[in-house]
Structure 1
């Protein structure tokens, strides 16, 4: 399989708006080494929003140009549901998403990701028709902003878990601004086996939806196994997908040119959680050595030797066996936490904080699957 040049990759993470809006978001993304990022225009758990005129848009774009950040997109909050059977809630959601499109346009970008919705007591067919009607209203907003429907896991009464359901929405709405966001955790949980047949899944996507309608990719590992219909993201390499699958996704020639956005969870001691974005981005893009210098490479090698001494011949096998033990309630710690605990108990890297020790464990997980060449850049 051919790969894209790391300099061509639009790879980054979800970041947050804070006091200075887009400026702070761009600064946070740059701190992780990102070339792209995704924002919410306010808290993802509510619909309270400030005017974009107060969100430091010009300052944010100036910083992006200086820092080499090339693109960002918007994600609508999780709580909006276009499938709701309640008229008041439906009208509010349509109006809110129209306003989000305006905010996206005012932020000077062209893509917003939306979860299709949940049936909530309706049949899936009824929910899909409701969503289609809502999207037709939403897309009356006179802006060139594209709306990307996210592939869903099918958790609870979520719709949009199959490519055919999303095709129905594309056809019913009939607007070229309606596009798709592929989420690696979600499609795996929904029953698309990207672990063993990524090419086949992408061929199915192309046949049903058309790869030309794919606008962006969310890159996540999964805490639950194939077909579970559970939406629980994991740090890359620490779940059922592992590190190799996200790496192949990011470098797949059929997906070239799209932004790849990490939504992996923050991890660590309670109250001190941190994202693994910096390590994940550097390893995915092939610039880990440049980003972290030789010390990182040596520490990853030391970790691999340490884990081998612990009887862990394959970190990948350890992670999978660890999740099965967690599922069976034979283990209290998730595999990533187990590995971190072993490292700390052994007194390794006493001068490093938890975030940077975990970065190195992610590096060891990546090397375990993909070989030492992943650290070459």
Structure 2
């Protein structure tokens, strides 16, 4: 099982690797910069080498870089889109220097422009930035559907991918809390949800899963994560997800409201049920 949690870059990449190993994780997720925006910290080659060594020694799966929440490619505000364009380009350039093959971002909110216009703007920035020699796989995150969010259903994610020139560089990250809140019944009909995903997008594009329970009920369109087994999705449904034959070999990234010890307990619990 490939599983880890979200970790802070505050003490560097090598330290994140050490923390992951200490809690029996074999992957992790990190923000490329402050989640509320701003400049990314300077990369340190020695620090990066240290992380690579830890990953090799401990048979890590793919680690996942997460874009800042403020990266909104489809805002009606030019300044917001300009930040998204600059940060996205900078992140992809930096990831070429890191042992990280996956980059996840929220498609964004169209802020009243409409879904079609929002998707058009997202595709424009993706096509400006993704090149033939880009080695990172860019993941669209499936969203809960609050407000004017884009990515509230598989069809919207598919439309974005369809517009990208280098489609082979694109993938999807499913967040269990998000899609449950968006109205995909992963509790009672996981097989049906996966079949729908496969028919619309293709399971080959599913590259990772944010594993979270949900504080809010099914179809609420509310993005409120809960610890594993303590929310509306429930422990049994989480077990079905991590052991499902079509999902079990994917990397799982915990974003539950926890500290390091809490993540460690969840990882231990999930490893036991996946054996």
What range describes the TM-score normalised by the shorter chain of this pair? Answer: over 0.9
Cα RMSD for the two superposed structures: 1.8
* Alignment pair present for 1:205 and 2:191: no
2: CA distance, partners of 1:130 / 1:67 = 41
2:9 paired with 1:17: yes
- Larger RCO (CA within 8 A; separation ≥ 6): 2
Bigger radius of gyration among the two: 1
State the match for 1:354 in structure 2: none
Picking from 178, 188, 205, the partner of 2:180 is 188
Q: Please say if 1:179 is aligned against 2:171.
A: yes
1:68-115 CA deviation, whole Å, 9 max, x = no partner? Answer: 433312111111100112233323211210110112221122110010
Superposed CA deviations along residues 352-372 of structure 1, whole A, max 9, x for unmatched, are: xxxxxxxxxxxxxxxxxxxxx
> Structure 2 length normalisation: TM-score?
0.94
> 1:60-139 alignment to 2 at 5 Å?
60-139=51-130
Where does structure 2 lack aligned partners over 5 or more consecutive residues?
A: none
| TM-score of the superposed pair, with normalisation by structure 1 | 0.69
Contact 2:63 2:100 (C-alpha < 8 Å) held by counterparts: yes
* Larger helix fraction of residues: 1
| Shift of residue 238, structure 1, vs aligned partner | 0.5
Give structure 1 stretches of 5+ with no counterpart.
Answer: 1-8, 267-272, 287-373
Q: What is the distance in 2 between the residues matched to 1:40 and 1:155?
A: 22
Matched, 1:166 2:128: no
Question: 1:202-238: CA deviations, max 9, x gaps?
Answer: 0000000000011111100000000000000000010
Pairing 1:228–2:214 present: no
Which aligned pairs between 1:1-377 and structure 2 lie closer than 5 A? Answer: 9-19=1-11, 21-53=12-44, 56-140=47-131, 142-174=133-165, 175-266=167-258, 276-286=262-272, 374=273
2:148 and 2:160 mapped to 1: Cα distance? 17
1:29 positional shift: 1.2
Contact 1:101 1:141 in 2 (8 A): no
Q: Which residue in 2 is equivalent to 1:361?
A: none
Q: CA deviation at 1:141?
A: 7.6
Kindly indicate whether the alpha-carbon contact (under 8 Å) linking 1:95 and 1:138 is maintained by their aligned counterparts in 2.
no
Q: Residue 55 and residue 199 in structure 1: after superposition, are their counterparts in 2 closer, same or farther (change >3 A)?
A: farther
Hey, what's the Cα distance between the residues in 2 that align with 1:226 and 1:275? 29
Contact 2:61–2:251 under 8 Å retained in 1: no
Answer whether contact 1:30 1:69 (CA < 8 A) is retained. no
Count of equivalent residues: 274
